[in-house]
Amino acid sequence: MYYDKLIFEISTEGRKGYTLPTPEIKRYDLPETLLRDDCPGLPEVSELDVVRHYTNVSFKNFGIEKGFYPLGSCTMKYNPKINQDMSNLPGFTSIHPYQPIETMQGLLHVYYETQRMLSEISGLDTFTLNSYAGAHGELVGLMIMKAYHESRGDFKRKKVIVPDSAHGTNPASATVAGLESVEVKSNKDGTVNVNDLKAVLDDEVAGIMLTNPNTAGIFEKDILTIAKLVHDAGGLLYYDGANLNPLLGIARPGDMGFDIMHINLHKTFSTPHGGGGPGSGPVGVNKKLVKFLPKPVIEKHEEGYTIDYDGDALTIGQISHFYGNAGVYLKAYTYLLTIGKENLPNVARYSTLNANYIKESLKDVYHLPIEGVCKHEFVFDGLKDKSTGVKTLDIAKRLLDFDMHPPTVYFPLTFKEAIMIEPPENESKQTIDRFIDVMRSIAKEAIENPEKVKGAPYNTVVKRLDEALAARNPIVKYKDLLEQ
Amino acid sequence: MNIPKDLYYTESHEWVRVEDGVAYVGITDYAQDSLGEIVFIELPEENDQLTQFSEFAAIESVKAASDLNAPLSGVVLAINEELEDNPELLNEDPYENWIIKIEIEDDTEINKLLNAEEYANVCE
């Protein structure tokens, strides 16, 4: 039986989850003017009602701990429980940012070591963990880019080159940073068109933001040429490291010539995200940009760690309340130590292998627009046989009937029926084979019984939703529902 | 795909109908089909000054959000207010439901637009 109640619907007038002692002092009535006109309309429920309600609701949730979750561009990898255990240690959770620094050396060690490990992984000199999320990291990186040019007295560099295949946050971050994004067209496989890039390079270019592997899961093969072109024009290279999984322990943006990058700990480094956040978007820079990093800066000395609240004279300033989301980098630190340096490249190898295995196993029935080896993810452009009228959305809905989270759909926009599949490294061959079988059975069903696929899902709590109606006329309050 | 012969087009899938110095602007059948069900449109205001090929409105569908670009420069004479409450009209008949009317500033800009045949190639 599906549980389909709202907490308001189990409310019973007068029921309470508490008892108060008889007051020892005289009752005091507030003046009329201070009273609200009507009751706030809160549900009246007992403690048991509340516990049962939310336990039942939680069964309806879908997460990585319930099933396969190949959501492209999101790296929905399992978050090992030890990450949670470590970040829940009272020695960390009870720290107050203003307590004496000698009493929080453990946390500062974690901060310092995490930034050091990220430096080693990325080939960049120094990291800050202060930024709260990926897009926040982008903004910080671009503020550093701007500060660098301005420190040289060069105020005309305002253009940030963003390929049209980049993450949507890139142009947005450039605008917020007070820069202007300039789009360059990508090749069919989403890689940068070097000729188009050359055409926009001039002495007003602050830098380029590059997502690698790009949104189609393809490694930017001309990356060294691009790096040289942009550097020769006086610009800086920004690496959007949101998709770092396939590079871990294999290739380093610093070695490719990049000056600045951000990393999403909540993707690659197995900290929760997607409603379970919060995130963390550390920013790394090469040597010449270290002085622009945000403050405060954690420093290591012989006698222990210190916090420099002032930062360098050229710092872009403070971008977070204290030093970022400690609970998140504690988890990432635990993940890195659990995996170990020698095993880290296996993350890259297995995620890449998994993606290529799915791609090759399904490309005879799904349309693969970009042939060749992909990295950790890839894109199908709908079914190969389009004559049945079964769309990507129908396939995604049908997957729900098999207890699988659908891949990312209709992104990237460069493919009309895009299905973007990213199977993280910790999925077993059995799970992946089952996904392949289900995808094949849906492709077969699309030919034999297309109407069935178009009507999916059938086994879920709610069936096919009217997405347009939901967007045009959203009902997000119980009150609005009652008024319907 | 419906591409009327008597209209001009942009590569970014807007159409233009020119009548006595006034340009009616909408989105093409291809655009509405690619977007899927349209759920929201953010319109400019009357008297806004538009520049050719610059953004003038934002449109959202169940799949994606996109900018609309002005096919021609000029002042906005009118907006189709009906779309604010019923954006699905753009799905139902994209050529009947214009989005804005522009007072054409410079006739020669029309030369930079595509004819039906050229636009059909863009949609290939």
Residue B5 lies in a domain: no
Give the domain CATH number at B88: 2.40.50.100
3-class SS of residue B103: strand
DSSP code at position B114: B
The answer on A398 and A293 residing in a single domain is: no
Look at residue A275 and tell me whether its pLDDT is greater than 70: no
Q: How many domains does chain A have?
A: 3
The answer on A218 and A323 residing in a single domain is: yes
The answer on A366 and A353 residing in a single domain is: yes
CA distance A217 to A359: 11
Judge if pTM exceeds 0.90. no
CA distance A174 to A444: 45
Q: What are residue A349's phi and psi, to 5 degrees?
A: -65, -45
> pLDDT tens, A61-74?
888 999 999 999 89
The answer on A117 and A45 residing in a single domain is: no
The answer on A359 and A327 residing in a single domain is: no
Residues of chain A positioned with their CB less than 8 A from the CB of B63:
410
The distance of B85 to chain A (nearest Cα, Å) reads 9
Rg (CA), chain B: 13
Overall average pLDDT of the A252-259 stretch: 97
Instruction: Give the residue from B11, B30, B39, B67 with the most A CB atoms within 10 Å of its CB, the best one to mutate.
Output: B39
Residue B89 lies in a domain: yes
Residue A279 contacts residue A325 (beta carbons within 8 Å): yes
The distance of A467 to chain B (nearest Cα, Å) reads 6
Residue A177 contacts residue A229 (beta carbons within 8 Å): no
Residues of chain B positioned with their CB less than 8 A from the CB of A410:
63-64
The answer on A463 and A381 residing in a single domain is: yes
Residue A68 lies in a domain: no
Q: Answer whether B62 sits within 8 Å of A413, measured CB to CB.
A: no
Q: How many domains does chain B have?
A: 1
Choose among A411, A413, A467: nearest Cβ to B62: A467
Residues of chain B positioned with their CB less than 8 A from the CB of A416:
34
Residue A414: the pLDDT is: 81
The alpha carbon of A164 is separated from its chain's Cα centroid by a whole number of angstroms, namely 20
The answer on A310 and A173 residing in a single domain is: yes
Choose among B34, B37, B64: nearest Cβ to A468: B37
Q: What are residue A121's phi and psi, to 5 degrees?
A: -70, -35
- Residue of chain A minimizing CA distance to B86: A472
Residue A80 lies in a domain: no
For A384, other C-beta atoms within 10 Å of its C-beta total 15
The answer on A364 and A315 residing in a single domain is: no
Residue A182 lies in a domain: yes
Residues of chain A positioned with their CB less than 8 A from the CB of B69:
none
Domain-terminating residue out of A317, A339, A361? A339
Residue B4 lies in a domain: no
Residue B1 lies in a domain: no
Interface list for chain A against chain B, based on CB atoms closer than 8 Å: 410-411, 413, 416, 467-468, 471-472
State how beta strands B49-50 and B14-19 pair.
unpaired
- Residue of chain B minimizing CA distance to A393: B63
Full domain range(s) for residue B89: 13-119
Query: What is the percentage of chain A residues whose pLDDT exceeds 90?
Result: 81
Residue B84 lies in a domain: yes
The answer on A317 and A362 residing in a single domain is: no
A52: Cα within 13 Å, side-chain hemisphere: 10
Look at residue A142 and tell me whether its pLDDT is greater than 70: yes
Residue A145 lies in a domain: yes
The distance of A285 to chain B (nearest Cα, Å) reads 33
3-class SS of residue B46: coil
3-class SS of residue B112: helix
Residues of chain A positioned with their CB less than 8 A from the CB of B64:
410-411, 413
CA distance A219 to A376: 10
Q: Note every long-range contact of A388-393, with CB atoms under 8 Å and residues 24 or more positions apart, other chains counting.
A: A388/A446, A388/A447, A388/A450, A389/A450, A389/A454, A390/A446, A390/A450, A390/A453, A390/A454, A391/A417, A392/A417, A392/A418, A392/A419
Interface list for chain B against chain A, based on CB atoms closer than 8 Å: 34, 37-40, 60, 62-64, 87-88
pLDDT string in tens for chain B (124-residue length): 899 999 999 999 999 999 999 999 999 999 999 898 999 999 999 999 999 999 999 999 988 888 999 999 999 999 999 999 999 999 999 999 999 999 999 999 999 999 999 999 998 8
CA distance A341 to A334: 13
Domain-terminating residue out of A323, A339, A355? A339
Q: Answer whether A471 sits within 8 Å of B34, measured CB to CB.
A: no
| C-alpha torsion sign, points A242, A243, A248, A251 | negative
- Residue of chain B minimizing CA distance to A467: B62
Residue A54 lies in a domain: yes
The answer on A282 and A349 residing in a single domain is: no
Residue B55 lies in a domain: yes
Residue B2 lies in a domain: no
> pLDDT tens, A286-318?
999 999 999 999 999 999 999 999 988 999 999
Residue A391 contacts residue A451 (beta carbons within 8 Å): no
Q: Worst-scoring range by mean pLDDT, A167-181, A267-281, B84-98?
A: A267-281
Residue B61 lies in a domain: yes
Query: Which residues neighbour A253 within 8 Å (Cβ) at sequence distance 6 or greater?
Result: A122, A123, A124, A212, A239, A241, A247, A261
Q: Answer whether B64 sits within 8 Å of A410, measured CB to CB.
A: yes
CA distance B53 to B71: 6
Residue A349: the pLDDT is: 98
Residue with tokens 């119980």: A478
Residue A83 lies in a domain: no
- Residue of chain B minimizing CA distance to A472: B39
- Residue of chain B minimizing CA distance to A408: B63
Choose among B37, B60, B63: nearest Cβ to A410: B63
Residue A81 lies in a domain: no
Choose among A413, A416, A467: nearest Cβ to B37: A467
Q: Answer whether A468 sits within 8 Å of B64, measured CB to CB.
A: no
The distance of A267 to chain B (nearest Cα, Å) reads 23
Report the complex ipTM.
0.75
Look at residue A1 and tell me whether its pLDDT is greater than 70: no
CA distances from A480 to A206, A473, A476, A483, B84 (A): 49, 11, 7, 5, 21
Closest CA to A213 of A260, A247, A258, A173: A247
Residue A167: the pLDDT is: 82
Overall average pLDDT of the A121-135 stretch: 96
CA distance A199 to A436: 43
Q: Answer whether B88 sits within 8 Å of A472, measured CB to CB.
A: yes
Residue A274 lies in a domain: yes
For B58-95, the three-class secondary structure string (H helix, E strand, C coil) is EEEECCCEEEEECCCCEEEEEECCHHHHCCCHHHHCCC
Full domain range(s) for residue A42: 7-59
Question: Binning pLDDT at 50, 70 and 90, where does residue A277 land?
Answer: low
Give the domain CATH number at A462: 3.90.1150.10
The answer on A267 and A176 residing in a single domain is: yes
Look at residue A82 and tell me whether its pLDDT is greater than 80: yes
Domain-terminating residue out of A310, A339, A368? A339
